[in-house]
Amino acid sequence: MSSSHNNQKKIAVINDLSGFGRCSLTIAIPIISVMKIQCCPVPTSIFSNHTGFESYFFEDYTDRMQSYIDQWKKLGLAFDGISTGFLGSKEQIQIVLRFLEDFKTKDNVVLIDPVMGDYGKTYSTYTREMCTEMKKLVTHADILTPNLTEACILTGTPYHPEKWHMCEIIALAAKIAEMGPEKIVITGIPQGEFIANLCYEKGKEPRFMRTHKVGTQRPGTGDVFAAIIAADAVNGVDFQDSVRKASRFVKKCILKSIEMDLPLTDGVCFEELLGTLK
């Protein structure tokens, strides 16, 4: 019986590593693993703790990323899924574009979380050049998970703080779909006492999924959401079912974190609930 590195399902996750604070790779690795898929991380930078704390150690990994990836090419690794999160520079986005040239196939699933901004503003680290490169990257996605701000940035749509009409948000998703992604979920849409996600899939009726707001926004909830969506996609779970599951899990994690009286900086204590994921 011949053995192969590729006998088990694998997802390559390109993101930063924070030793404390629950975000990025420290969320993706356990969640994808508990869903019976091997998580193969590509670190973009190393943090002692995430940037929401007053101080932190940081080391940029850009100059080492390509050499790291080249070893995977030598091993002949193949991935059932590829997932990307926050990318810190134009160069990192270009490295990811090369990664997709090498590892994207007609059979695997690429999820891109275009972490670019929130509350109507682009993050201070994001340059115009980076936004242009991110738009190139988005064309390679099968699944895209932008928040409302990021959906506006990607489509060149002005953001407004007033209540958004459903037809406006569906129009945003349709514009993004024209860029390439088959499946889009626009997250964190405020609707009074609710938070909604728009689930948009080419060839299907768009669907809004609402849940009651709980607690205060915490770091890492988007990473939890994206990890579940990526693992479910590789496992062949229906997209709408996956979005519903990810939303409910994030909400349970927030409630558990409130119950345990965890500081907001510490993110969500998903570990307490990992056993409920399948």
Q: Which helix (H) or strand (E) holds 184?
A: strand 183-191
**CATH entry, 10-266, from 3.40.1190.20, 3.40.50.1000, 1.10.10.10, 3.90.180.10:** 3.40.1190.20
Predicted confidence at residue 278, as pLDDT, reads: 83
Predicted confidence at residue 3, as pLDDT, reads: 66
Q: Can you give the residue ranges of every domain in the chain?
A: 10-266
Q: Is the dihedral of CA 251, 25, 69, 138 positive or negative?
A: positive
- Residues 174-193, buried b or exposed e (16+ Cβ, 10 A)? eebbebebebbbbbbbeeee
Predicted confidence at residue 1, as pLDDT, reads: 41
Angle between helices 90-103 and 128-138 (to 10 degrees): 10
Q: Where are the beta strands (DSSP E) in 50-105?
A: 58-60, 81-84
Strand partners, 83: 13, 111
- CA 213 to chain CA centroid, Å, is 21
Q: Are 202 and 5 in contact (CB under 8 A)?
A: no
Consecutive 10-residue runs of the chain (278 residues): their mean pLDDT? 80 97 97 98 96 94 98 97 96 98 96 94 90 96 97 94 90 97 94 91 93 84 96 98 96 95 95 94
Copy the structure tokens of residue 154. 């990607």
Cα angle, residue 42 at apex, residues 228 and 67 outer, rounded to 5°? 160
Q: How far apart are CA 57 and CA 53, in angstroms?
A: 11
Predicted confidence at residue 124, as pLDDT, reads: 87
Q: Are 42 and 65 in contact (CB under 8 A)?
A: yes
Within 10 angstroms of residue 139's Cβ, the number of other Cβ atoms is: 13
Copy the structure tokens of residue 114. 């275009």
Distances (CA, A) of 230 to 110, 141, 144: 8, 12, 10
